[in-house]
């Protein structure tokens, strides 16, 4: 589920993967890899760091687990009046993070013929690091 409210003309952007029925061991494994890569990337956010460096943190974790070729998009983007703004967490964006920027962090693994997992949160760059603005659970949800 990829959604986000708008408040005073500013946007949020949140994604959660929900399983219908009982997830397999592989579903659980891929979900945990995506969650771990997201947490590592979020924890690396701080003023003065390059967007490409934050992207690399998540990308390297996913690749280390054997799914590098299955993460085919950038790690995230800036939020504001538009849902998708510059700068972006991507391999090629060398914009330096500054306090006050709001960025999405949304790693994903997508396997053709099998499915995919994405977890997305909105994160504020603060003077000393970051603040996760999204309050929704990241527990594995099965319905």
**Residue 80 within any structural domain of the chain:** yes
What is residue 45's predicted lDDT score, i.e. its pLDDT? 98
Residue 111's CATH number: 3.90.230.10
Question: Domain span at residue 41?
Answer: 24-135
H/E element holding 25? helix 25-43
Residue 75 lies in a domain: yes
Cβ count within 10 A of residue 6: 10
Whole-angstrom Cα distance, residue 122 to residue 113?
29
Is 102 a domain residue? yes
Half-sphere exposure of 113 (CA within 13 A, CB side): 0
Round to whole Å and give the CA distance between 125 and 84: 17
Residue 15 lies in a domain: no
Number of compact structural domains in the chain: 1
The pLDDT assigned to 84 comes to 83
Residue at 129 is within a domain: yes
Q: What is the largest CA-CA distance in the chain?
A: 44
Q: Is residue 140 part of a domain?
A: no
At residue 78, the pLDDT reads 96
Give which of 30, 33, 14, 23 is closest to 111, Cα–Cα: 30
Structural domain includes residue 2: no
For 79-126, the pLDDT digits (tens) are 988 888 899 999 999 999 999 999 999 999 999 999 999 999 999 999
* Confidence category of residue 15, pLDDT binned at 50, 70, 90: very high
């Amino acid at each position: 589920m990829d959604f986000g409210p708008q408040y005073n003309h500013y946007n949020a952007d949140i994604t959660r993967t929900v399983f219908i029925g009982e997830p397999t061991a592989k579903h659980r494994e891929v979900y945990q890899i995506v969650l771990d890569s997201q947490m590592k990337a979020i924890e690396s956010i701080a003023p003065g760091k390059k967007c490409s460096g934050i992207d690399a943190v998540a990308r390297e974790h996913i690749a280390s687990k054997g799914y590098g070729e299955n993460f085919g998009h950038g790690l995230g983007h800036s939020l504001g009046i538009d849902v998708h703004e510059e700068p972006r967490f991507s391999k090629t964006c060398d914009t330096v993070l500054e306090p006050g920027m709001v960025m999405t962090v949304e790693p994903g693994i997508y396997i053709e013929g099998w499915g995919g997992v994405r977890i997305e949160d909105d994160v504020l760059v603060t003077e000393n690091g970051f603040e996760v603005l999204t309050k929704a659970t990241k527990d594995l949800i099965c319905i």
